Amino acid sequence: MTAPRTVRASATWAALALLSAAVLVPFAWMLVSSVKLDDEVFTVPVQWIPKQFHWENYVDIWTTIPMLTYLKNSLLLSVVITVLQVLTGSFAAYGFAKVSFPGRDLLFYSYLATIAVPWQAYMVPQYILMEKAGLVDTHLSLILLQAFGAFGVFLMRQYYLTIPDELLDAARLDGLTEYGIWARIVLPLSRPAMASLALVTFVNTWNDYMGPFIYLTDNDLWTVQIGLRSFVGAYDAQYALMMTGSVLSVLPVVVIFLFGQRYFVQGIATSGMK
């Protein structure tokens, strides 16, 4: 009934190769467009091989817009927010998953409930609050907004639920405090989940447009996403350079992904969990 293993494996491999190629088409388009002239970007049908390669786009982008400033701002925001989110998320999640005390579930549901409200709905009250605190037009406003997200708490809690209680009970018997258990046992065990959380937080912050758009007005504070969007305004459309910028903006995330992959797919020491 089943095909021989090797045949099936190579069929899977071929399917994956095809799928991943198909998935990369839009990125390929970005790459190709980034070395074209502006008017050559939108052509029907698509011109997959540019008539001429305009590599100078990759030089011009740094002087046409303050790309370096944008990248620095995005990097600062993404790193700080990711670190805080992973810390606050895993710390609080331990409380929710592994310590039982009165009032816990109520707090957890309040986290959960806010996930269901679209940001567009409370954008305005939040903005007024930040304005009154004098934090609008600062990076701190975005850091505060995103570092305490409910997502991280929820994700880490779900992961901690899979860690057997017996393991923690044994540690408690050994005299470890709850903080000690969190730091010495749970944190090392949850490396794959932390890596995923860090990755998705980083990517979300990096690609966030609405947050910086609402909160940052000063051009020196702008992130890559608003910097790029400001390119395609009603009065100008430098699409090729925009794609050059997009390619550059994606690169840091790719590096993070390749680097972080090791952590969430390499496997954890399962022996400790038995």
Partner 1 sequence: MKRHLITTIAVATGSVLLAACGGGSPGAGGDPKGPVTIKVSVWNYATTPEFKALIDGFKAAEPSITVKPVDILAEDYARKLTAMLAGGDTTDVLTMKNVIDYSRYATRNQLMPLTGEAKAVDKTAVPALSTYDLDGKYFALPYRQDFWVLYYNKTLLKKAGVDEKTLTNLTWPQYAELAGKLTSGTGASKVHGTFLQTWRSVVQAVSAAQTGGDQLGGNYGFFKDQYALALGLQRSGAALPFATAFTQKITYKSVFSSGKAATLPMGTWYASTLLADKASGKSTVDWGMAPMPQIAGSSKVTTFGSPTAFAVNKKAKNAAAAKRFVTWASGPEGAKAIAKVGVVPALNDPAVRDIYFGLDGIPNDPIAKKALTPDDVKLEMPISDTSSDVDQILTETHQLIMTGEKDLDAGLAEMSSRVRSEVGR
Partner 2 sequence: MRRFPGPRRTTLAGWTFILPGFLGFAALTLVPVMATFGLAFLDWDSYSTPEWVGLANFERLAANPTFWTALGNTVFYAAGHVPLTLVASLGLAVLLNRRIRGVQYFRTALFFPYITSLVAVAIVWNLLFDPDLGPVNQLLRALGAGDPPGWTSSTTWAMPAIIIASVWRDMGYYMVLYLAGLQTIPPELYEAAEVDGAGAWQRFRHITVPSLRTMTFFILIMLTVSSFKVFDLVQVMTEGGPGRSTLVLSQLIFREGITEGRFGYSSAIAVVLFAVVLVLTMVQFGFSRRDER
Rounded to whole angstroms, how far apart are CA atoms 197 and 32? 32
Burial per residue of 226-244, b for 16 or more beta-carbon CB atoms within 10 angstroms, e otherwise: bbbbebeeeeeebbbbbbb
CB of 9 to partner 1, least distance (A): 41
Q: Which stretch binds partner 2 (CB under 8 A): 53-61, 63-71, 72-80, 250-258?
A: 250-258
Task: Report if residue 24 touches partner 2, rule: CB under 8 A.
Answer: yes
Binding at 226: pick from partner 1, partner 2, none (beta carbon under 5-8 Å per type): partner 1
The 3-class secondary structure across 177-196, one letter per residue, is CHHHHHHHHHHHHCHHHHHH
User: Could you report how far apart the first and last alpha carbons of the chain are, in Å?
Assistant: 36
From the CB of 214, what's the least distance to partner 1, in Å? 6
Partner from partner 2, partner 1, none contacting 132, C-beta within 5 to 8 A by type: partner 1
Contacts from 176-184 at CB under 8 Å and sequence distance 24+? 178/94, 178/98, 178/99, 181/98, 182/90, 182/91, 182/94
Question: Which 200-239 positions form the footprint of partner 2 (CB under 8 A)?
Answer: 200, 203, 206-207, 209-210, 225, 228-229, 232
20 touches partner 1 (CB under 8 A):
no
Residues of span 120-139 touching partner 1 by CB under 8 A: 123-125, 127-133, 135-136
Q: Taking the complex as a whole, how short is the minimal distance between the CB of residue 107 and partner 2, in angstroms?
A: 6
Spacing of C-alpha 142 from chain mean position: 15
The least distance separating partner 1 from the CB of residue 57, rounded to whole angstroms, comes to 14
Per-residue contact track with partner 1, 197 to 236, x per CB under 8 A?
----------------xx--x-x------x--xx-xxxxx
Residue 46: φ, ψ to 5°: -65, 140
Judged by DSSP in three states, 47 sits in: coil
Cβ-based nearer residue to partner 2, 62 or 263: 263
Which CB sits closer to partner 1, 44 or 49? 44
Distances from the Cα of 204 to the Cαs of 24, 74, 152, 168, 207, in angstroms? 20, 11, 12, 33, 5
Candidates 25, 134, 184, 217: give the one binding partner 2 (CB under 8 A): 25
Q: How far is the CB of 227 from partner 1 (least distance, A)?
A: 10
